[in-house]
Every structure is written in C-alpha cells, then in structure tokens.
Amino acid sequence: MDSLHLHFDIDGSDFTSAGEAASELKRVLRQLGFPPEIIRRCAISMYEGEINMVIHANGGTVDVYIDSDEIIFELIDSGPGIADVELAMQEGYSTASQEVRDLGFGAGMGLPNMKRYTDQIIVDSIVGVGTAVFMSIKLE
C-alpha cells in the first residue's frame, strides 16, 4: 500500500484560521479508523506546528504522510529561522511578541509539546532562510 499524502498550506496572515489544518487532519484520521490516542497526539503536534508558523514565520506548508507503520510530518517555512534550537525546545522559552502573547499564544510550549507527543523530531533551521521540522509518530 502506498502512503497517503496530505498537503496543507498554512496561511500566516490570519490567526482566526489557525487550527484548521489540525481539525482537517483529525477528520481524516477518524475516517481512517486510527485509535483516539494517536489522533490526539497527531492533533496536538500538528496544531503546535501550525501555530508556530503563523506566529513566527508568516505561514508555510505541512505535508503529512500516513504509512502502515508511522505518520510523518514535514513542516517547512521560510520564516526568520531559529537561532538556538536547543533553547527553543525548552519549555517556557519563547520569542513571541507581546501582541502575540496578548492573544493567548507564545507560552513557549510549541516545540516542547511537539517533542512530547511525537516519537521523533528533527528541527533544521537556518537563520534568515527558514525552518524545517520533521516529526514521526509510530503506529502500534
């Protein structure tokens, strides 16, 4: 069986539509009959990735590949990049603006949550070029 590919364009200009890709992904996973726990882990990882792109990178793309043994996420943006990835992975660390924090975002839980709910995460970032995040959630 080929892997199933889903592509999402994340609109960086609009906070109100943030979370739509996560909702869409959940719907697909329900249709495919994945267990609730897997759906929740995917939803949180996807949502955090999506929000990060809106807050920091003016949008980007997410490609999700559903295989028989794992679900792979590729999140690509051409935002400012992350200077210190290790620091960004720490809970509570955030470079979000006050404006963004006032909206209830920017608590510094984005990448830490993505790490927590996936089995593998690789963050590849070049300052001034962009960020690529690869995540994998193993099935069974």
Binding positions for other proteins, rule: CB under 8 A? 1, 4, 19, 22-23, 26-28, 30-33, 36-37, 39-40, 43-44, 47-48, 66, 68, 113
**Nearer to other proteins (CB atom), residue 113 or residue 131:** 113
Strand partners, 11: 59
**Nearer to other proteins (CB atom), residue 92 or residue 128:** 92
Q: DSSP assignment, residue 17?
A: G
Q: Tell me which residue of 75, 95, 58 sits closest to 7, measured CA to CA.
A: 75
Q: Tell me which residue of 70, 83, 80, 87 sits closest to 134, measured CA to CA.
A: 70
CB of 25 to other proteins, least distance (A): 11
Which residue in this structure is represented by tokens 């992904």?
Answer: 25
**Nearer to other proteins (CB atom), residue 107 or residue 122:** 107
CB of 128 to other proteins, least distance (A): 30
User: What element of type H or E holds 43?
Assistant: helix 36-56
